[in-house]
Amino acid sequence: MTDVNAALVHVNQVKNQIKSKMANTLIELKNIKKIFQVGGGFLGSGSKNLTAVNDISFKIEEGQTYGLVGESGCGKTTTAKMILMLEEPTAGSIIYDGQDAFKTSQSNPEYKKNYKSSVQAVFQDPWASLNPRMRVKDIIGEPLEINTDMTKKQIQARVDELLVEVGLQAYQSNLYPHEFSGGQRQRLGVARALSLNPKLIVLDEPVSALDVSIRAQIMNLLVDLQKEYNLSYLLIAHHLATVRYMCDKMGVMYLGNLMEEAKASDLFDDPLHNYTKALMSAALPSHPDIERDEIILEGDVPSPLNPPPGCVFQPRCLNQSKCTCSKTPPTLKEKKPNHMVADCICCTA
Ligand SMILES: Nc1ncnc2c1ncn2[C@@H]1O[C@H](COP(=O)(O)OP(=O)(O)OP(=O)(O)O)[C@@H](O)[C@H]1O
Ligand SMILES: [Mg+2]
């Protein structure tokens, strides 16, 4: 069994244990939209609207993993940044602890501090996310120093504990990031994300910059930590096998829109939207003997500066002749139990 296969089996075992728990919603995105103003001259004159995220809604349950997939530029990271409060939505709300996170944070600094501690991130490139001039103890200890009243001694003890938690050793707290391998640096990123006991960790391509053999180890670590701390994850990844085995539920984005949402296994086994079918067909099958028809989509993804009217997928749809959605965009509807799809006659034909 390869490292990756062994990791996937392990992931499945742990996930089944987690699933036996009842899940409550931790965070809910309601009709979130993000429009960037791009280009333009003095004081923004002549600038254009770029719709990066267009009216999407989904929930992340406690202790579970929600996956977001879709082609480059479809708005996954922008969605993640809004959840991390690094970008403010143009419209819509993010509900956390029963309240609108952005609105409440404006008047309630305690709520904002709690939100920021509870929602952490691990990014794709461990090089870029760790300050090369800081020792590991300062990198991991920094959030504790800023957000807690812990003494230096307590912080050092917590850093040592976190290093061991992510499979490193306490003595390594005196080292600099360049003294670690790529996989170890990603472990440091995970340790830093864990330092404030978060409830949700946004994982934006957490293993794609790593060597294949290391990916399995980091996936295992993330799954073990999820089980231990009942963490929720938002996982953004291009590698569909990783998404399939790590996620409970997932959403498929296209040009800022959520096209389909279902339990991860349902979405892989029975994709309904033509875009999802094409996306899934591009993934390698789990066994070389499994036959599959690869669906090649024609044309490029349209520009988010000038999206097509109606269904944004319509110009590339496999079944344009029957299309009824070129004017009115279809909305997400439940087509099968807990399986939502934004389709019209042509999208699922
Ligand atoms: N700060 C910004 N200003 C203007 N446009 C932006 C900004 N951030 C993102 N965009 C645009 O928003 C769209 C969505 O970008 P985003 O980074 O969310 O895509 P993505 O799905 O994460 O892509 P990838 O898979 O390549 O990481 C893109 O067209 C991008 O150019
Ligand atoms: Mg991205």
203-224 pLDDT, tens per residue? 999 988 888 889 999 999 999 9
For residue 57, how far is its CA from the centre of ligand 2 (angstroms)?
Answer: 18
Residue with the smallest CA separation from ligand 1 atom 9 is 78
The Cα–Cα gap between 192 and 319 comes to 48
What average pLDDT does this structure show over 120-138? 90
Q: What is the pLDDT of residue 294?
A: 76
Tokens, residue 342: 């934004």
List Cα–Cα distances, 88 to 83, 167, 319, 331, in angstroms: 9, 35, 37, 24
The Cα–Cα gap between 268 and 299 comes to 24
Q: What is the pLDDT of residue 7?
A: 64
For residue 69, how far is its CA from the centre of ligand 2 (angstroms)?
Answer: 10
Residue with the smallest CA separation from ligand 1 atom 8 is 78
Considering 12-21, 129-138, 308-317, the range whose residues carry the highest mean pLDDT is: 129-138
Ligand 1 contacts (CB < 6 A) are 36, 38, 50, 52, 72-78, 304
Is the model more confident about 232 or about 243?
Answer: 232
The CB density around residue 278, as the number of other CB atoms within 10 Å, is: 19
Q: What is the pLDDT of residue 345?
A: 62
For residue 171, how far is its CA from the centre of ligand 2 (angstroms)?
Answer: 34
Residue with the smallest CA separation from ligand 1 atom 12 is 52
Which residues share a beta bridge with 56?
32
Which ligand sits nearest to residue 68's alpha carbon? 1
Which ligand sits nearest to residue 86's alpha carbon? 1
What does the DSSP assignment read for 100-151?
EHHHHHHH-HHHHHHHHHHEEEE-S-HHHHS-TTS-HHHHHHHHHHHH----
Residue with the smallest CA separation from ligand 1 atom 17 is 77
Which residues share a beta bridge with 65?
233
Q: What is the pLDDT of residue 186?
A: 93
For residue 172, how far is its CA from the centre of ligand 2 (angstroms)?
Answer: 31
Over the chain, what is the mean pLDDT? 88
Q: What is the pLDDT of residue 247?
A: 96
Query: Does residue 13 surpass a pLDDT of 90?
Result: no
Q: Give pLDDT tens digits for 55-101.
A: 999 999 999 999 999 999 999 999 999 999 999 999 999 999 999 99
Query: Does residue 319 surpass a pLDDT of 90?
Result: no
Work out the pLDDT band at 331, boundaries 50, 70, 90: confident
Is the model more confident about 7 or about 315?
Answer: 315
Q: Give pLDDT tens digits for 152-192.
A: 999 999 999 999 999 999 999 999 999 999 999 999 999 99
Global pTM reads: 0.90
Q: What is the pLDDT of residue 328?
A: 75
Q: How is the chain split into domains, by residue range?
A: 3-38+49-133+176-261
Q: What is the pLDDT of residue 343?
A: 77
Secondary structure class of 296 (helix, strand, coil): coil
Residue with the smallest CA separation from ligand 1 atom 1 is 36
Is the model more confident about 229 or about 4?
Answer: 229
For residue 273, how far is its CA from the centre of ligand 1 (angstroms)?
Answer: 23
Tokens, residue 318: 């496999």
What average pLDDT does this structure show over 130-148? 94
Tell me the best of 34, 74, 205, 312 to mutate to test the pocket of ligand 1, counting ligand atoms within 8 Å of each CB and taking the most.
74
The pLDDT > 70 percentage for the chain reads 87
Those residues with Cβ within 8 angstroms of residue 306's Cβ, 6 or more apart along the chain or in another chain: none
Work out the pLDDT band at 317, boundaries 50, 70, 90: confident
Query: Does residue 4 surpass a pLDDT of 70?
Result: no
To 10 degrees, what angle do helices 152-165 and 136-147 make? 120
For residue 53, how far is its CA from the centre of ligand 2 (angstroms)?
Answer: 12
For residue 123, how far is its CA from the centre of ligand 1 (angstroms)?
Answer: 15
Tell me the best of 50, 88, 238 to mutate to test the pocket of ligand 1, counting ligand atoms within 8 Å of each CB and taking the most.
50
Report yes or no: 123 and 204 within 8 Å, Cβ to Cβ: yes
CATH architecture of structural domain 3-38+49-133+176-261: 3-Layer(aba) Sandwich (3.40)
Which ligand sits nearest to residue 75's alpha carbon? 1
Q: What is the pLDDT of residue 240?
A: 87
List Cα–Cα distances, 249 to 201, 266, 286, in angstroms: 16, 9, 19
Query: Does residue 21 surpass a pLDDT of 60?
Result: no
Which ligand sits nearest to residue 79's alpha carbon? 1
Q: What is the pLDDT of residue 20?
A: 46
The CB density around residue 5, as the number of other CB atoms within 10 Å, is: 12
CA angle 235/307/74 to nearest 5° reads 10
Query: Does residue 44 surpass a pLDDT of 80?
Result: no
Report yes or no: 196 and 117 within 8 Å, Cβ to Cβ: yes
From the alpha carbon of 205, which atom of ligand 1 is closest?
A: 27
Is the model more confident about 81 or about 44?
Answer: 81
CA-based end-to-end distance of the chain:
38
Q: Give pLDDT tens digits for 240-289.
A: 888 988 999 999 999 999 999 999 999 998 999 989 998 888 776 666 67
